[in-house]
Amino acid sequence: MNAAQFAMASLPAREEFYATIRGLNLTPLWESLHTLVPREPQPSCLPALWSYAKIRPYLMQAGQLISAEEAVRRVLVLENPGLTGSSSITQSLYAGLQLILPGEIAPSHRHTQSALRFIVDGEGAYTTVDGEKTMMHPGDFIITPSWRWHDHGNEGRAGILEPVVWLDGLDIPLLRFFDAGFAENDVTQAQRVSTPEGNSFARFGYNMAPVKNVGAMATSPIFNYPYARSREALDALARTEPVDAWQGYKLRYVNPANGLAPMPTIATFLQLLPAGFSGKGHRSTDGSVYCVAEGSGSAIIGSETFAFSPRDIFVVPSWCPLRLRAQNDTVLFSFSDRPMQVAASILREAFLDD
């Protein structure tokens, strides 16, 4: 009797056996082994793009329907179409677009989830983290470390009052998996600013660090990485280095205290694709979220092609091939769960010869 014949002959006995052991909260591994341990990743996350031009009117409408104080954080969540109901953009990451109107304050709170802000649209807003305030400018990458008090406000600039929108990225699904989420509201709406603006950057942002009392810092002591400086670095590379055939000119943001990612759970990147760039395919196990800072082009994700414009956002699932094209000089900000995969020694990537 071969294996197939044996399986058919024993099927009734197997079903009876399975029904019996279910009462003991047991289940047979051989029935689910290939799903639990697949030959390669099988993400539920799907490739998708969110057009900022289409989303912005709804953000503004949300601003008329609910205040920043009532909402606590007025955000439209970017929910992956393959993860409906999860408020997730990948299996491990959350993303949303947050709006703050002139004169508003998003009240102070803290949570164990680590957060990033990538400023998408408008000026005049600020964030305060543990008593240090920083102004927000388009393209700035700003960190809210785990369990640190933070509030946001929009006080305008030079007499100009306009809405400000930024991309939020958090490790909410990851902490939900670990059942390790805590949050606390502050006793005041806005913190008292106790540290001069730019203090953290002055101490850590110039390839130098204080000699005393630094200690271990899992999260970067710099919480605002200005776009102007990051863009300057990419321009310098483009003038002096050959372009990478897969990723153009790509740099990772670093924690200057240890050289690792700015946050222990989230890695962040900025890359320049020169005009006419037609990249080769690459893929990685860290599913990534991209936001277009400048330029236009297309992202070929698996078998789907997504045309992108400034401020658009797209997601690349784990192990899904990505090919990037640029019509003009294009800058992309991206983030992923790479630090967790590196720590667990499970990160895998492949650069394809198209």
Residues ≥6 apart with Cβ < 8 Å to 116: 141, 142, 143, 144, 168, 169, 170, 262, 263, 266, 268, 335
Percentage of residues of the chain with pLDDT beyond 90? 88
In the chain, where the domains are located: 48-351
**CA dist., res. 48 & res. 62, Å (int):** 23
Q: Is 61 left (phi over 0), alpha (psi -120 to 50) or beta?
A: alpha
On average, the pLDDT of the chain sits at 95
Class of domain 48-351: mainly beta
As a whole number, mean pLDDT of residues 48-65 equals 98
Whether the per-residue pLDDT at 214 is higher than 80: the answer is no
As a whole number, mean pLDDT of residues 296-319 equals 98
As a whole number, mean pLDDT of residues 314-337 equals 98
At 149-163, the pLDDT tens digits run 999 999 988 888 999
Which pTM does this prediction carry?
0.95
Res 217: pLDDT: 82
Res 213: pLDDT: 66
Whether the per-residue pLDDT at 264 is higher than 90: the answer is yes
Half-sphere exposure of 216 (CA within 13 A, CB side): 2
Whether the per-residue pLDDT at 2 is higher than 80: the answer is no
